[in-house]
Amino acid sequence: MSRNLGGESQVILPTNQKLVMVTWKGDDIWMLFRPARKDEKAETYTFQEKSLLGVLQGKVIIKENF
């Protein structure tokens, strides 16, 4: 929805997973994540669209959950 209409949405990863990569394919968001290592801390990532016209820009905030 954020991609098509602009605005912001939030995704919380499954417990003890680290985000590796994220991309949009059509209308879907695809995320690659892996098990967190013991020495790693949870982080928050912002995946933001940058449109040429500056309108209807979407943003997805992805939070790790340790």
Q: What is the mean pLDDT of the chain?
A: 86
Quickly tell me which residue has 């929805």 as its tokens: 1
Q: What are phi and psi of 4, to 5 degrees?
A: -80, -35
Structural domain boundaries in the chain: 2-65
61 CB-near residues (< 8 Å, 6+ apart): 8, 9, 10, 11, 44, 45, 46, 47
pTM (predicted TM-score): 0.78
pLDDT at 15: 97
pLDDT at 39: 97
pLDDT at 55: 65
Q: Report CA torsion sign: 37, 41, 42, 43.
A: negative
Contact between 5 and 57 under an 8 Å Cβ cutoff? The reply is no
Per-residue model confidence as pLDDT tens digits over 3-12: 555 678 899 9
